[in-house]
């Protein structure tokens, strides 16, 4: 049920406007001549119409100036929006005529509809981005764990290697002394030993270590995955199946940006505001 309140007043262009208190003002002839702040403060809401209007006119206002659009009108507007979310003047006029609305109402409906669509799109993009982030975080954690495991393995193998080497050197020294005594020949003090490690524990392959130089992987405290490039290396798959529901350019900004990151993951200029900027 309508509130039944009526207001009337004048805008800044001194044009009389009439309505039912719902903000309907189809008699406005000027586009920019209405100051919202001023009007919202000054327009008088009337609980009674006796002193202002005839009963017949009041009823007419209630029945003809309904604020809400009917479901049928909304349905047709939605259909039209699906075809194209931009409204050409001809289409606007045609729709208005078909729906029994003012062209201005049709234009406003499209403006609001685009705003709602954009909000929904942003929410959807946020959800997708967050799930991508969660996946990346999870991947990073497991890789970091694996990294720690491998480093521990390297340390352990290095120690084994060093003790083995020490044993070899001492034994070689004794043998060499004996042999030298027997044959009058002195062996080289040490030799480079290549050892294929069969003790590797399922980390995807065997570790070949050039002895005496120590392990090739040195724990410097830095990650093996540069933080600056890491996210780009894991660009989320672009969802091409996302329906095109009539965006400005028919392209999802989220997907586009990830595709961009995928193709240019080493370009520093892509590290600016990137996808977040909607222009």
Which spans of this chain sit near DNA (rule: CB under 7 A)?
1-3, 5, 11, 20-25, 28, 31-37, 40-41, 45, 67-69, 74, 86-89, 92, 104-105, 107-112, 114-116, 118, 248, 278
Helices (H), the chain: 36-42, 55-64, 71-83, 89-99, 103-183, 230-233, 253-263
Helices 103-183 and 89-99: crossing angle, nearest 10°? 120
Query: Min. distance of Cβ 245 from DNA in angstroms?
Result: 13
Residues in the chain: 279
Query: Min. distance of Cβ 75 from DNA in angstroms?
Result: 11
Query: Min. distance of Cβ 253 from DNA in angstroms?
Result: 11
Q: Distance from CA of residue 121 to its chain's centroid? A: 10
Q: Computed over its alpha carbons, how large is the radius of gyration of the chain?
A: 39
Q: Given the complex with DNA, which of 11 and 80 has the nearer CB atom?
A: 11
Any long-range contacts for 213-222 (C-beta under 8 Å, 24+ apart)? 214/158, 215/154, 215/155, 215/157, 215/158, 217/150, 217/151, 217/154, 219/151
Q: Which residues are bridge partners to 46 per DSSP? A: 6
Q: Given the complex with DNA, which of 32 and 183 has the nearer CB atom?
A: 32
Distance CA 110, CA 95 (A): 11
Locus of tokens 């669509």? 117
Say whether 86 sits in a helix, a strand or coil.
coil
Q: Given the complex with DNA, which of 11 and 257 has the nearer CB atom?
A: 11
Q: Given the complex with DNA, which of 98 and 164 has the nearer CB atom?
A: 98
Q: Given the complex with DNA, which of 64 and 197 has the nearer CB atom?
A: 64
Q: Given the complex with DNA, which of 111 and 131 has the nearer CB atom?
A: 111
Query: Min. distance of Cβ 50 from DNA in angstroms?
Result: 19
Distance CA 56, CA 126 (A): 52
| Residue 92: both structure tokens together | 């606007």
Query: Min. distance of Cβ 123 from DNA in angstroms?
Result: 11
Query: Min. distance of Cβ 29 from DNA in angstroms?
Result: 11
């Amino acid at each position: 049920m309508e509130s039944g309140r009526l207001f009337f007043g004048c805008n800044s262009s001194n044009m009389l406007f009439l309505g039912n208190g719902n903000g309907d003002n189809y008699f406005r002839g000027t586009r920019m001549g209405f100051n919202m702040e001023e009007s919202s403060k000054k327009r008088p809401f009337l609980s009674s119409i006796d002193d202002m209007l005839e009963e017949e006119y009041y009823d007419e206002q209630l029945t003809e100036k309904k604020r809400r659009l009917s479901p049928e009108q909304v349905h047709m507007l939605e259909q039209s929006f699906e075809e194209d979310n931009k409204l050409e003047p001809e289409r606007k006029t045609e729709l208005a005529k078909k729906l029994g609305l003012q062209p201005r109402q049709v234009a406003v409906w499209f403006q609001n509809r685009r705003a709602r669509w954009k909000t929904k799109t942003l929410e959807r993009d946020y959800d997708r981005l967050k799930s991508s982030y969660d996946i990346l975080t999870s991947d990073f954690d497991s890789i970091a764990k694996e990294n720690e495991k491998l480093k521990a393995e390297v340390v352990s193998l290095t120690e084994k290697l060093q003790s083995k080497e020490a044993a070899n050197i001492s034994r070689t020294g004794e043998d060499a002394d004996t042999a030298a005594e027997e044959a009058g020949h002195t062996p080289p003090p040490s030799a480079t030993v290549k050892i294929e490690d069969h003790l590797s524990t399922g980390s995807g392959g065997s570790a070949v270590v050039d002895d005496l130089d120590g392990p090739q992987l040195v724990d410097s405290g830095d990650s093996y995955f540069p933080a600056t490039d890491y996210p780009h290396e894991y660009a989320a798959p672009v969802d091409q199946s996302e329906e095109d529901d009539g965006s400005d350019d028919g392209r999802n900004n989220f997907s586009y940006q990830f595709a961009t990151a995928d193709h240019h993951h080493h370009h520093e200029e892509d590290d600016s505001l990137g996808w977040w900027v909607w222009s």
